[in-house]
A and B are shown apart, each in its own frame.
Chain A
């Protein structure tokens, strides 16, 4: 069965620290990869996505992610976090062209000012 695993459940950082959130997936075929973010009190929003091409993907607000096919990983990074990045982050995969998303359990990021 398809699954997504996020290694960090709760991360606490100080402002300006670097961030890396791990994501691994289990699926044998071609997938599209996503990171979604949910700010407090808001709906899920797309942070970035990978469909094909350059495995290093840049998203909004300075986030980026790297797809490493051999490791079935799609880790999220940001060089310097801000207090406003406090949110819950979800990694998701979608079997190619179905649109159906399989989500990880999420990582709560708390950034201290």
Chain B
């Protein structure tokens, strides 16, 4: 079946604008994760959902970042008042259950100019 799908693949936005990044997990996967990867670094955990609820949002850097998963499937990562330091690749992953193997999407490359 299809893997984890992330849209858009690339996003360029101006400083101060609002952006939404979308993740379609593998069908039937209950756990969904967001990570951020800056150049030359490993992915950094942001938030994960088990079903519709955020099980752990300890990685969100500040209150400009917010994520939802209203129906327990698709998730949207929302960034308000973007800053140049938000530029990174945002990765989404899903797994059948918490602790099971996570499958990653290709990521969304966000560039804030």
Contacts and interface: CB of A to CB of B under 8 A. Distances in A.
A100 B59 CA distance: 10
Interface in A72-113: 90, 92, 94, 96-106
Contacts of A32: 99
A106 B44 CA distance: 12
A32 B95 CA distance: 15
Interface string B90-110: 010101011111111111000
B31 interface: yes
Given A94-B99, A98-B48, A100-B48, 18 more contacts: A36-B104, A90-B43, A96-B99, A98-B99, A99-B33, A99-B48, A99-B102, A100-B33, A100-B45, A101-B33, A101-B35, A101-B43, A101-B45, A103-B42, A103-B45, A105-B40, A105-B41, A106-B40
B34 to A, nearest CB: 11
Interface residues on B, range: 20 to 34
Nearest to A98: B98
Contacts of A92: 42
Interface string B31-62: 10101000011111100100000011000000
B71 to A, nearest CB: 20
